[in-house]
Amino acid sequence: MSSDVRTSPDGETRTSRIVGSVDFHFPVASPSEEPAEIFKIVSGVRCQMPFKVKVASSAGIDEQGILETVSQVFDEVESTLSNWNPDSEINVVNKMKVGDPAHKMSPMLREVVLGAKEMVKKTNCAFDPSIAPLIDYYHSRALFKSSSNPTNENCKKNDESRIEKEVINVWKELLKAGYSSNPMDTRISKRVKKLLELSTWSSAFSVHKEFISKKHDEACLDLSGIAKGYTVDEIARRLPTSCMVEWGGDVKVVGKHPLGKNVWSVGVRKPRTLYELQEGVKRVKEEGQQGPVYTLYSSDKDGKNESDEYLAIIDLKDGDAIATSGDCEKVIEKDGKLYSHIINPKLGRLLEINSETLAQAVVVCKGSCMCADALSTAAISLEDPTKARELLEPFRTAFRYPVNDFLLFSRDGPRIIRLQVPGLEPKEIREKRLQSHEPAKVIVLGSGLAGMSAAIAAADAGAKVILLEKEEKTGGNSAKATSGINGWATETQAEQGVCDDERLFERDTHRSGLGGTTNPSLVRTLSIQSAPAGHWLMHRFNIPLKVLSQLGGHAAKRTHRAPPDDQGRPVPIGFFIMKTMRLVIEGEYSDKIEIRCGSKVLRLLSSDENDCKIVHGVVVEHKNGNRYEEYGDSVVVCTGGFGCSQSPDGLMARFRSDLLGFATTNGNFAQGEGVSICEELGAELIDMDKVQLHPTGFINPKDPQNPTKILAPEAIRGSGGILVNSSGKRFVNELDLRSIVSKAILTHCDRYVSGTYTGPPFAFCILSKESQELFGFPTLGFYKDKMGLFEECQDISAVANLIGCKEEVLIETLRSYSNASKIGNCPQTNKSIFPADISPESTDLIVGRITPSIHYTMGGVNINPAGEVQHTLTGHFGRHRHIRNLYAAGECTGGVHGGNRLAGNSLLECCVFGRIAGERAATVKQSEQCMFPQAKIDGSETHWKPVVLREVRNTDAVFGKNTIEARFNLYGALQHSGLDVGQFVGLRGECDGETLQGYFSPITRPDDEGVIGILARKDEKGGPITKLLNHIRPGSVLYMCAMGGLRLRFEGNSIKYRGREIKRIGLLAGGTGIAPMIQIIRAFSDFVRKAGPKANGYKMNLIFAAEGEHDVSYMKVLNDVKQDFPTYFSYYIKLNSPPLGWTEGVGFIETRDIKARMFHPAEAHDLCVLCGPPVFERSMIKLLNKNGFEENQIFSFSTMDRVSAK
């Protein structure tokens, strides 16, 4: 966007005012004088609020016509929604009494009332237009009429008793109206509370379909705020062309910008500063305005703020709406304090205007200005910026009109909170990070979606890529996918108003995977990166993922596929993606990615370093039989699953011999070779026995014995296809998990018999005309007409005939299904989603035969969220090590889908982890060996560097309650941090407009490759940064710098501290000192393991003091280290409140513990490290000093170098 547009936006939004506070009958002004070279502009004032309509100029648009439309909408709104027009429909409602017949709402009132009702519910009453009586109370009674001297206590008291009197009057009136409570209780808050109770939607109105009635006589609706948004929506809706409509700060845009820009820009005005408000009040007082309610804008000649700056320029796309609520359109002065005219509907009091409270809330919604308005009002009413953010955030996804953007502004700082899409690394940071490595050569195995995604991501990160595919064609099983790819918070979901969120998606994935391993870190990465993956496919490759379906096991419509093409032909999604990617690779990437088909990889080339495997390349067999070695810097294995492995020495025979002989939907290439070649190098395999049977592989009646079945896609059942057995009875919820549907077919259905052939159990799949339409006739044509897999039946009688069941049984089945679909619940199968109806009266049906077929192998090589293949060796502290330079993604990996894959999650997995693995594989050659090279030289590097969050692990079970380990990617996959053992890092980031910072001792070792992990608390004890750590998601960026600390160096066969040789390390630890303690123990055990016999004479003794057994949940880990290295490591735990049966130390650490469990007397090569809270460390220093430890033999984290107790 050009800068001139930035300084001169297309529209403007400022703190909006309530409609109708003054004369509504203000005439519509004539078209403005503004030049209209680009736009046709009509503007005027209505209800003292300026409006402006900008219409993209094109032939045939007449300003008069626009003005008429605008006028017409205003008039209709006035006669329906205005509280200030005594005859308006809303006032008819407000004048109703309890017992009056319910009012039948006009379509306009109904739309606004239902919208308001939804917003009340969704904002948990932060927005509530039935608060009107309370507003009235404030307006007409105590507060506004008071004039007090804040310094005079008596005056204050008088004021209070007067207020109280007023309240009692209100109270009496309420009692008269029949509301019982304790009239003796005269405390104001209780009165307001009561009034508040009555002024809430649920206790004030009852709305049923088209009717509204009152629950008490005083109930009153003030819809003016939301009506303003409605008015803007309605004008935009009625204008026949691209336009921007703006009224009183509410803005909506429709269509394309006339200059051909992608967006329209709207400037959001900055609210007044506190000083400006105070001065404004002073000025209007001087001008004669009677207090204490002051309308500041009206005194401004041009309606602008004094500080006429923009807070932000916000881009709006077709259909976007923006609304702003501010705290200071009307200012109330009382006791020297300023209050807003806005009431917190939950607490029933006016909002105070000060520097910390929310001054302005700006909300951009897709599709509805009315909702944007309600949400900005709700947000501002909460006062607290963080609470407002928490209110708005869920609307980003779980809402019909999703919030695209919001901006919350408080005057302190000023503090600005902007909507951040979780898990996105800003482009500039990514580019800078990628500049820090040398180009690598990456070998990718397999040309399915995982392989192609990895290849493209690696090339984008600067690598030269060789893609090896054993088949002649590229695409693998990915090219067979038809149901689609999952994603939540996608553009398509937003466009279609689908509510979805990470909790639902992750819950569904874990639930589906029960019985197997769904690694929470992998699932979270899959989830958070799902929308970016979809975005990548849509915008990088122009894949129109515009059709959504809700498949089995999903809580929302989130499986995306492409609509039929221009000629109405189906677009099989997997094939389309793979074809497009190949074309892009052969075009744009021809000099970066080389695809070699007919090249089967036989094994990996590797070497050993210490006990670490390092991959250098692959052995390839060309289709002509020639074998050769291909060397590279890293290898990404994307060879798919083993669904077609039927040989006696294959993976299926090894892990699921019971499935040998089953039909499959997989291509013959799916033999699982990639899994085997990784296993040869020691890769850990997980969930290899978890094989998914797809319930619906088509049986072709002309070729029933063929083991390869064409898949009847999930979407067939997703479009309402039902399953019945040979008796004509349903037996399962068709939309249940695949595992459940498959099992039900195997249990409840007869075997397929044709002549002498007896096949597997099978079911009939019946589609009504409505289902066929929903699924799409073009795609259906492929299965029905081209492949002959469906037969047509005119009516139910014909279906019964085809199935060979009794007609009355089938009729009964369909009748109860149809009834269930009407009430939304089938008691027999628990089906609750009915995409289409089918009943005994249905005609033009089609019927196919389906059988469970091997479809997907959930197990495979274990990877971490960076796509690194994990070695079988499990280290202490539950850690894996990765095989260096080896990455994997897609169906050949395990740990994402557990016991059963959720439909649509496989293509997603390929895309998400393919991209991650490919990019990580491209970063193995770093220009710098360390992320913080300066730290290596002089101990710290205060330069903050961006780090991308890889994963957050819940470590409650390992390191104690409420702990997490946050792991961040170093720039390079093989880079070290450059820190010494015991050295701190600073972590910094922005959350809710505040910069939060914390200091941590890493829990990972300095020589861990490509990652740095910190142990943190996730409760409030962890300090303010906890909020940030709980907030970020994989892919988010924080800033890290290297600080000082212990700086213990494990160099080859020696340990050094400040240049001094250390042989014995004592650890006195407790409370918060776990992270450094664990890091030191890890580093020491690693040192002993590597040094072998040369470690003789080295020792580490730990004494750990804790309150109770729950504080030492990692004891098993310590025990493991002790068992592995008994001569080198010992530990002793002292508990203040020991559990029953406790056999170790009791009480606090004292002299006898030092003498018996530490090194005593201390020698020159000893170092005692204290890890714990400051108070603990100080008392330990005293104890050690008393026992003869010199200053240089003690290191204390909390006192750092100041170790003397004197």
Ligand X SMILES: Cc1cc2nc3c(=O)[nH]c(=O)nc-3n(C[C@H](O)[C@H](O)[C@H](O)COP(=O)(O)OP(=O)(O)OC[C@H]3O[C@@H](n4cnc5c(N)ncnc54)[C@H](O)[C@@H]3O)c2cc1C
Please tell me whether residue 917 binds ligand X under the rule CB under 6 A: no
**Angle, nearest 10°, between helix axes 107-122 and 63-81?**
70
**Interface with ligand X (CB under 6 A), residue from 516, 617, 674, 1073:** 674
Sequence length of the chain is 1206
Instruction: Answer for the pair 1016, 955: CB distance below 8 angstroms, yes or no.
Output: no
Amino acid at 471: E
Burial of 518-540, coded b for 16+ CB within 10 Å and e otherwise, reads bbebbbbbbbbbbbbbbbbbbee
Q: Which is nearer to ligand X, 11 or 720 (CB)?
A: 720
DSSP classification of residue 708: B
Q: Select the residue interacting with ligand X from 128, 233, 383, 673 (CB under 6 A).
A: 673
- What mask of x and - would describe binding to ligand X in positions 797 to 836, judged by CB under 6 A? ----------------------------------------
CB under 6 A: which stretch of 462-470, 532-540, 845-853, 1120-1128 binds ligand X? Answer: 462-470
Distances (CA, A) of 757 to 699, 705, 754, 763, 803: 13, 8, 5, 17, 18
Least gap, CB of 908 to ligand X (angstroms) = 6
15 within 8 A of 228, measured Cβ to Cβ: no
856/1104 with CB nearer ligand X: 856
Closest distance between ligand X and the C-beta of residue 897, in Å?
10
Residue 480 makes contact with ligand X by CB under 6 A: yes
User: Looking up tokens 């004048």, which residue turns up?
Assistant: 95
Q: Does residue 947 belong to the site contacting ligand X (CB under 6 A)?
A: no
Query: Least CB distance from residue 838 to ligand X, whole Å?
Result: 24
Q: Decide the pairing of beta strands 1054-1057 and 1060-1062.
A: antiparallel
Comparison of 603 and 1122: residue with beta carbon closer to ligand X: 603
The residues near 427 (Cβ < 8 Å, ≥ 6 apart) are none
Query: What mask, x for binding ligand X by CB under 6 A, covers residues 831 to 870?
Result: ------------------------xx--------------
Among 292, 385, 423, 446, binds ligand X (CB under 6 A): 446
Q: E strands along 248-402, which residues?
A: 250-254, 264-269, 293-295, 310-316, 320-326, 330-334, 337-344, 349-352, 358-366
Given 485, 846, 981, 1048, the residue binding ligand X (CB under 6 A) = 485
Stretch touching ligand X by CB under 6 A, among 103-111, 473-481, 506-514, 802-810: 473-481
Q: What is the Cα Rg of the chain in Å?
A: 35
Q: How far apart are the first and last CA of the chain?
A: 65
If binding is defined by CB under 6 A, does position 451 make contact with ligand X?
yes
| The one among 225, 640, 978, 1073 contacting ligand X by CB under 6 A | 640
Residue, CB closest to ligand X: 448
Closest contact distance (angstroms) between CB of 628 and ligand X is: 13
Stretch that binds ligand X, among 164-172, 476-484, 678-686, 809-817 (CB under 6 A): 476-484
Q: Which of 639, 862, 1072, 1196 binds ligand X (CB under 6 A)?
A: 639
Tell me whether residue 910 is exposed, middle or buried, using C-beta atoms within 10 angstroms of its C-beta: 0 to 12, 13 to 18, 19 or more. Answer: buried
Return the residues of window 568-587 that contact ligand X according to CB under 6 A. 574
Q: Does 448 bind ligand X (CB under 6 A)?
A: yes
Q: Which two tokens stand for residue 1042?
A: 């290297």
For position 890 contacting ligand X by CB under 6 A, the verdict is yes
Rule CB under 6 A: is residue 887 a binding residue for ligand X? no
Residues 6+ apart with CB under 8 A from 523: 506, 509, 510, 896
Catalytic residue among 341, 433, 717, 1064: 717
Which of 132-140, 265-273, 440-448, 1055-1063 is the region at the interface with ligand X (rule: CB under 6 A)? 440-448
Q: According to CB under 6 A, which one of 221, 537, 638, 796 is a site residue for ligand X? A: 638
Q: Which of 694, 849, 876, 1033 is catalytic?
A: 694
Is 454 a binding residue for ligand X by CB under 6 A? The answer is no
Q: Of 46, 411, 470, 831, which one interacts with ligand X (CB under 6 A)? A: 470
1055: left (phi over 0), alpha (psi -120 to 50) or beta: beta
Q: Which helix (H) or strand (E) holds 711?
A: none
Instruction: Determine, following the binding rule CB under 6 A, whether residue 719 of this chain makes contact with ligand X.
Output: no
* Residue listed under structure tokens 């269509």: 255
Burial 247-278 (b: 16+ CB within 10 A, else e): bbbbbbbbbebbeeeebbbbbbbbbbbbeebb
Instruction: Figure out which of the listed residues 47, 125, 449, 1162 binds ligand X, where binding follows CB under 6 A.
Output: 449
Residue carrying structure tokens 């299904």: 817
Picking from 473, 468, 470, 508, the residue whose alpha carbon sits closest to that of residue 487 is 508
Which range in 378-386, 422-430, 464-472, 764-772 contacts ligand X by CB under 6 A? 464-472
DSSP, residue by residue, 529-574:
THHHHHHHHHHHS-----EEE--TT-SS--EEEPPP-TTS----HH
**Could you tell me the smallest distance in angstroms from the CB atom of residue 492 to ligand X?**
16
Ramachandran assignment for 279, one of left (phi > 0), alpha (psi -120 to 50 degrees), beta (any other) = alpha
Minimum Å gap between C-beta 423 and ligand X is 20
Q: Report in angstroms the alpha-carbon separations of 945 from 118, 429, 1012, 1047.
A: 44, 10, 13, 20
* Between 377 and 671, CB nearer to ligand X: 671
Pair 567, 441: CB distance under 8 Å:
no
By CB under 6 A, tell whether 904 contacts ligand X: yes
State the nearest-atom distance from the C-beta of 408 to ligand X, in Å.
38
Residue 467 binds to ligand X (criterion: CB under 6 A) = no
Check binding of 632 to ligand X (CB under 6 A).
no
Q: How many CB atoms sit inside 10 A of residue 973's CB?
A: 28
Say whether 694 is catalytic. Answer: yes
Q: How far is CA 737 from the centre of its chain?
A: 23
Q: How far is the CB of 545 from ligand X (least distance, A)?
A: 12
Stretch 653-672: interaction string toward ligand X, x if CB under 6 A: ------------xx--xx--
Tokens 């209709």, residue?
A: 76
The site for ligand X, by CB under 6 A, has a size of 43
Among 600, 738, 876, 1064, binds ligand X (CB under 6 A): 600
Catalytic site residue 208? no
Beta-sheet strands, E only, within 922-1006? 941-954, 963-969, 981-991, 994-1000
Smallest gap from Cβ 588 to ligand X, in A, equals 21
Tell me: does residue 895 bind ligand X (CB under 6 A): no
Cβ at position 523, least distance to ligand X in Å: 15
- For residues 749 and 726, what is the distance between their CA atoms, to the nearest angstrom? 7
The yes or no reply on residue 907 touching ligand X (CB under 6 A) is yes
Span interacting with ligand X, options 364-372, 635-643, 684-692, 784-792, rule CB under 6 A? 635-643
DSSP, res 1002: B
Strand, coil or helix: 98:
coil
* Residue 550 vs 906, nearer CB to ligand X: 906
Q: Which is nearer to ligand X, 604 or 1075 (CB)?
A: 604
Contact 775, 715 (CB under 8 A): yes
CB of 574 to ligand X, least distance (A): 6
Residue 755 CB, nearest distance to ligand X (Å)? 28
Interface pick for ligand X out of 88, 482, 519, 719 (rule CB under 6 A):
482
Contact with ligand X (CB under 6 A): which of 160, 306, 471, 773?
A: 471
Contact positions vs ligand X (CB under 6 A): 445-451, 468-471, 476-478, 480-485, 574, 600-601, 638-640, 665-666, 669-670, 673-674, 711, 855-856, 890-892, 904-907, 910
- What is the set of active-site residues? 694, 717
